[in-house]
Amino acid sequence: MTHSMSDRGLVKSAGEPDLLDAERRRGRGARSNVSGRFESERREIVDDGWESGADLPAFKTTLHQDSARRVISRNDSPDISFDQSINPYRGCEHGCTYCYARPTHCYLGHSAGLDFETQLYVKPNAAELLEAELAKPGYKPSTIALGTNTDPYQPIERQLGLTRQILEVLEAARHPVGIVTKSALVLRDADILSRMAKDGLAKVVLSVTTLDRRLARSMEPRASTPGKRLEALRGLHAAGVPTAVMVAPIIPALNDHEIEGILEAASAAGVAEAGYVMLRLPLEIGQLFREWLATDYPERASRVMKLVQEMHDGRDYRSAFGLRQKGSGPYAGQVAMRFRLALKRHGLNECRERLRTDLFRKPAAKNGQLSLI
């Protein structure tokens, strides 16, 4: 894929990437935009002495149409509790510096850096595709997760409403759905979720990484503030929607001291369940996260990475099931113990909400043939 100089800069030899000007990436999470690992050329900004980059524009959000033929993705990972998911968007404007989904943008010919936050792909026919898949003769219902690879309530959802359209299809089919988000926009759909929850068909998980507004704005620049996420949990609880909180990711020497505080705040907001995931740094994310640490928390950078590597046998990351989300070793064990004690203190996870599949009604086929049942 060819990139213009205004997008990526001039071709240069391999080496450490130059960080982009702060004004160009204002309001974004990544500090660089190095070409994806599948590209034949590596393109970065360099100073050629002519000040040619001085007037380069800020990174703007660009939408592309994703011409997907199906919308339900399936997985068999033992680390997660669902086997079906839907992502109406690819890429995420929230810009979380640590996002484990960033490397997937490289398959599209983009960078895992700023491209992931600014070159977004949308599936305008997601609801139509979903209805068709649910109507197939061999389809068997199981909980569909929204928000597994990118946030279904990222800012462009206000404009496009694809997630709400998906929920409308699921409600009509009486199909169970679980949502994971960092956005208070989920409250917009409390009407649908409340109705579904009455029949045991809906559950919402809010990811709360920190209660510190400054830290949140730095590493999750376009996600809802921590306070707004807690308000969303309270609002959903009041609407009768089962809620949970994910303390994710837990970052050593940065937000790990907040575990107890987050669970206390979530419990006060009506949350009944909680979980956590340690920081994950696969592929390009390791370099992107280091760049962010170097610019925003340089005094903690070495300590953070030392503890991360202690959990992964001296490496940034291990992809093995059972280890990739929790790590191993003394530090990982200490975090697990603290989390268990905090759960017990606040009465969390004493019972788990299991969504129903027995109410499923297959949508009518679009060929006009009606169901006999």
Contacts of 337 (CB under 8 A, 6+ apart): none
Q: Residue 136: how many CB atoms within 10 A of its CB?
A: 11
Cα–Cα distance, 98 to 291 (Å, whole number): 11
Residue 10 parent element (H or E): strand 10-11
Based on C-alpha coordinates, what's the Rg of the chain? 21
Structure tokens at 353: 């909400």
Contacts of 48 (CB under 8 A, 6+ apart): 10
> Can you give the pLDDT at residue 79?
67
Cα–Cα distance, 43 to 54 (Å, whole number): 17
Q: If DSSP codes are grouped into helix, strand and coil, which group holds residue 258?
A: helix
> Can you give the pLDDT at residue 24?
85
Residue type, 175: H
| Long-range residue pairs from 337-340, CB within 8 A, at least 24 positions apart, any chain | 338/259, 338/260, 339/247, 339/259, 339/263, 339/276
Q: If DSSP codes are grouped into helix, strand and coil, which group holds residue 357?
A: coil
- Domain ranges in the chain? 10-46+60-345
User: Selecting from 3.10.560.10, 1.10.150.120, 3.80.30.30, 3.40.1110.10, what CATH number does the domain 10-46+60-345 have?
Assistant: 3.80.30.30
Contacts of 361 (CB under 8 A, 6+ apart): 172, 173, 174
Cα–Cα distance, 103 to 85 (Å, whole number): 18
Query: 245-300, pLDDT tens digit by residue?
Result: 999 999 999 999 999 999 999 999 999 999 999 999 999 999 999 999 999 999 99
| pLDDT tens, N- to C-terminus, the chain (373 residues) | 333 333 333 333 344 567 888 888 989 999 999 887 777 666 655 556 655 555 677 889 999 999 888 999 998 776 677 789 999 999 999 999 999 999 999 999 999 999 999 999 999 999 999 999 999 999 999 999 998 889 999 999 999 999 999 999 999 999 999 999 999 999 999 999 999 999 999 999 999 999 999 999 999 999 999 999 999 999 999 999 999 999 999 999 999 999 999 999 999 999 999 999 999 999 999 999 999 999 999 999 999 999 999 999 999 999 888 788 999 999 999 999 999 999 999 999 999 889 999 999 999 876 555 444 4
Burial of 207 (0-12, 13-18, 19+ CB in 10 A): buried
pTM over 0.85: yes
Beta bridge partners of 90: 121
> Can you give the pLDDT at residue 47?
59
Q: Taking Cα atoms as reference points, which of 127, 133, 87 lies closest to residue 362?
A: 133
Residue type, 315: R
Cα–Cα distance, 85 to 147 (Å, whole number): 8
> Can you give the pLDDT at residue 43?
61
Query: 39-51, pLDDT tens digit by residue?
Result: 766 665 555 665 5
Q: If DSSP codes are grouped into helix, strand and coil, which group holds residue 277?
A: strand
> Can you give the pLDDT at residue 44?
59
